[in-house]
Amino acid sequence: MSHDATSNPYADPLRFGQRVQILRERRGMTQAQLADLVGISPHTLRKIENGQQRTPDLDRVMRIAEALRVRDLADLTGRPDGHVDLFVGPGHPRLAAVKAAIDAFTFPADVEPPPVAHLQVRLHAAWRTRHASKDHREAVGRLLPDLIRDAQALVRHADRAEERRMAQTLLAQTYSLSQFFLAYQPDSSLLWRVAERGMIAAQESEDPHAIGVAAWLLAQAHRDAGPRHFDAADAVNLKAIHHLDPFLPEAGDDVLAIAGALRFELAYTAARRRDTGTAWRQWDRAESMARNLPADYSHPVTSFGQAVMGAHAVTVAVELHQGGESVRQAARADRGVIGSRPRRARHRIEEARGYRLDNQPDAAMASLEKAYQAAPETIRYNGYARTLLLEEVESTRAPRRRRAAELADRIGILHS
């Protein structure tokens, strides 16, 4: 055996610490920033990185993985047998077909485009299906290949300027739907390709609503890429908000709502930065915009409206690591009814994160179970939910450990 070999890399504090340092620097984070996110002192983190302190317990390792947005736990622990995708799901069975449709290169003569009205009806139905389905990725993934093919064909066959703008609007909507399917899938390059194509199609359409939706999704892609991309996320958001401003005085509900959703995204990114004042100030502005919409209104893509603002407040508090505030906002959020199943499940996951921050693990487990009831495919592919469950599977409390293991098994985490 080589003199530098080790039978258990995870047990070697120097190797673990080096991995933490490398991953932290790749994210462009300082020791103080990471320590703050994890809930330890910079001095303690420094000792972990330089090998003066042993590898933390699983709970702390998971917190470090979450803060660094580590996609595979093995990258952090060094254990080849510890392959666990955290922020990327296992890959949906329909991913290959969706990818093939996106990547396909066809000539105008290859596909006969459908009538515009026909594609509009199908897209509208697809969005409704997504919001109503527990297994929304399966439902949408079944529809996307044909929608992508037909929307692309419609653009290629459009002759007049007006026809081409309408076709680009429908193509942008199709790419937006595709991004919801691709979120947390193990193909980040495909997600970026679709986000950029969606933005180009929206700009070509000159449709304010399509531009707003494409910008909303592109900003999220930047933000989820890590701290070094937060400025890019804000730039996209602000540019879109400024573009929409002249339309707002006479705009319909959908344009008003996407402007409000973009405003909230500024709050979300500020919270990721731990900029408390900006985060809550932007949330206030978004909430004010939501109040100008009908009480029962929900945006067809983003779910923005009065009912979702409580859920958004939970997200802001969680990203700011304000455990007590997260729990208070979660109690208030339950007064609103979120119509979309996947959005409702996402809120329950954020609620679980809040309870976990507030040291209420049993309440967190209850929220994850509610997320599963609302939309199993949301929790199955959500990195935060997977992280929370993996923590509790290792709990020293047998009832909680069994409860977590049962849910993890239903979701498929333990054998993914």
DSSP for 95-150 reads HHHHHHHHH----TTTSPPPPHHHHHHHHHHHHHHHHH-TTHHHHHHHHHHHHHHH
Fill in the DSSP letter of residue 51: T
Sequence-ordered list of residues with C-beta below 8 angstroms from that of 14, at least 6 positions apart, any chain:
50, 51
**Predicted pLDDT at 22:** 82
- The number of beta carbons lying within 10 Å of the beta carbon of residue 12 is 16
Q: Is 365 a member of any domain?
A: yes
Sequence-ordered list of residues with C-beta below 8 angstroms from that of 103, at least 6 positions apart, any chain:
none
Q: Taking the mean position of all CA atoms in its chain, how far away is CA 292?
A: 26
**Predicted pLDDT at 13:** 42
* Structure tokens belonging to residue 343: 């959005």
Q: 69 and 87 in contact (C-beta within 8 Å)?
A: yes
Residue with tokens 């790749």: 26
Residues 320 and 386 in one domain: yes
**Predicted pLDDT at 412:** 79
Residues 129 and 187 in one domain: yes
CA angle (175 as vertex; 173, 177 as ends), nearest 5: 70
Q: Is 54 a member of any domain?
A: yes
Residues 116 and 177 in one domain: yes
Task: Determine the 3-state secondary structure of 23 from DSSP.
Answer: helix
Domain containing residue 312: CATH number = 1.25.40
Residues 98 and 57 in one domain: no
Q: Is 214 a member of any domain?
A: no
Pairwise CA distance, residues 217 & 315, whole Å: 17
> Which helix H or strand E contains 388, and what residues bound it?
helix 383-393
Encode pLDDT of 127-149 as tens digits.
999 999 999 999 999 999 999 99
Residues 319 and 356 in one domain: yes
pLDDT greater at residue 94 or residue 105? 94
**Predicted pLDDT at 108:** 65
> Which helix H or strand E contains 163, and what residues bound it?
helix 161-182
Q: Is 378 a member of any domain?
A: yes
Point out which residues pair with 85 in neighbouring strands: 72
Average confidence (pLDDT) over 258-272: 97
Pairwise CA distance, residues 116 & 121, whole Å: 9
Domain containing residue 53: CATH number = 1.10.260.40
Fill in the DSSP letter of residue 2: -
For residue 177, give its domain range.
Answer: 91-206
Question: In the listed set 206, 229, 254, which residue is the last one of a domain according to the structure?
Answer: 206
Per the prediction, the chain carries an average pLDDT of 88
Residues 64 and 138 in one domain: no
Encode pLDDT of 212-260 as tens digits.
999 999 999 999 888 889 999 999 999 999 999 999 999 999 999 999 9
Question: In the listed set 206, 228, 246, which residue is the last one of a domain according to the structure?
Answer: 206
Q: Is 239 a member of any domain?
A: no
pTM of the model: 0.81
Q: 239 and 197 in contact (C-beta within 8 Å)?
A: no
Residues 41 and 107 in one domain: no
Residues 65 and 96 in one domain: no
pLDDT greater at residue 140 or residue 56? 140
For the chain, percent of residues with pLDDT exceeding 70: 90
Phi, psi of 85 (to 5 degrees): -75, 120
Encode pLDDT of 40-49 as tens digits.
888 888 888 8
Pairwise CA distance, residues 99 & 156, whole Å: 20
Residues 102 and 198 in one domain: yes
Predicted confidence (pLDDT) at residue 87 exceeds the cutoff of 70? no
Q: Is 112 a member of any domain?
A: yes
Count of domains in the chain? 3
Average confidence (pLDDT) over 188-213: 96
Question: In the listed set 206, 224, 252, which residue is the last one of a domain according to the structure?
Answer: 206
Fill in the DSSP letter of residue 207: -
Residues 188 and 95 in one domain: yes
Average confidence (pLDDT) over 101-125: 88
Residues 144 and 71 in one domain: no
Phi, psi of 72 (to 5 degrees): -125, 120
Q: Is 252 a member of any domain?
A: no
Residues 72 and 98 in one domain: no
Q: Is 232 a member of any domain?
A: no
The alpha-helical segments, DSSP class H, found in 188-334 are 188-205, 208-224, 230-244, 253-272, 276-291, 309-319, 323-333
Predicted confidence (pLDDT) at residue 402 exceeds the cutoff of 70? yes
